[in-house]
């Protein structure tokens, strides 16, 4: 039995690892992390079901962290190539690039979304997914092209 316990301890589920990453980030820089733990699977699935799978435009996720909602979007049928993941934390960006290699991962500030995405999107966003509050103005900015700096579809990932 002791051998089984130690083997089980070595095989930590990814969810636990993600929770530890979030907590560590929050302890190190509490004002830079939007959440202490990843979104629950139920919340992620609920949010994903509102995104239209049939549309063709990009789907922007603000603050994806370790990818709980990203994963739900993919399970819902959203192609990874349509995903634009805007994350502030460089460690989470690296993790997201490994987990979702076909998505565009943009290290940037969701509160300055127009500046963050000005050269990333080739078309207006189909959806902006976020558990953050008060993203109304940023979400509106992402859903229409900028007059000052039109999006040209170049990737900043």
Poorest-confidence range of 26-40, 101-115, 135-149?
135-149
Sequence-ordered list of residues with C-beta below 8 angstroms from that of 10, at least 6 positions apart, any chain: none
2-142 fold: Rossmann fold (3.40.50)
Sequence-ordered list of residues with C-beta below 8 angstroms from that of 151, at least 6 positions apart, any chain: 117, 118, 119, 120, 121, 122, 123, 145
Q: 154: pLDDT confidence band, cut at 50, 70 and 90? A: very low
Q: Does 31 have pLDDT greater than 50?
A: yes
Q: What is the tens place of the pLDDT at every residue in 79-93?
A: 999 999 999 989 889
pLDDT score at 11: 43
The CA-based diameter of the chain, rounded to the nearest angstrom, is 66
* Residue 67 φ/ψ region, left for φ over 0, alpha for ψ in the -120 to 50 degree band, beta for the rest: left
pLDDT score at 140: 52
Helices 41-48 & 68-76, crossing angle to 10 degrees? 50
Q: Would you say the C-alpha torsion 121, 22, 133, 88 has a positive or negative sign?
A: negative
- Mean pLDDT in the chain? 75
pLDDT score at 23: 62
C-alpha triplet 115, 146, 122: angle, nearest 5° = 85
pLDDT score at 71: 93
Q: What pTM value is reported for the model?
A: 0.68
Give how far Cα 10 sits from Cα of 19, 23, 37, 98, 110, Å.
16, 20, 21, 21, 36
- Is residue 100 within 8 A of residue 67, CB to CB? The reply is yes
More confident: 104 or 19: 104
What residue spans define the domains of the chain? 2-142
Looking up tokens 């103005």 gives: 137
Q: Does 109 have pLDDT greater than 50?
A: yes
Q: 29: pLDDT confidence band, cut at 50, 70 and 90? A: low
Token couple for 156: 């900043």
């Amino acid at each position: 039995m002791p051998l089984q316990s130690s083997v089980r301890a070595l095989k930590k589920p990814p969810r636990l690892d993600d929770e530890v990453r979030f907590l560590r980030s929050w302890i190190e820089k509490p004002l830079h992390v939007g959440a202490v733990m990843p979104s629950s699977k139920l919340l992620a699935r609920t949010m994903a079901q509102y995104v239209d799978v049939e549309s063709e435009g990009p789907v922007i996720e603000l603050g994806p962290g370790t990818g709980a909602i990203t994963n739900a979007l993919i399970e819902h049928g959203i192609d990874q190539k349509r995903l634009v993941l805007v994350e502030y934390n460089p460690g989470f960006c690296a993790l997201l690039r490994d987990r979702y290699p076909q998505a565009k991962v943009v290290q940037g500030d969701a509160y300055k979304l127009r500046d963050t995405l000005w050269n990333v999107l080739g078309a207006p966003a189909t959806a902006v997914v976020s558990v953050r509050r008060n993203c109304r103005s940023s979400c509106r900015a992402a859903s229409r092209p900028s007059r000052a700096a039109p999006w040209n579809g170049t990737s900043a990932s």
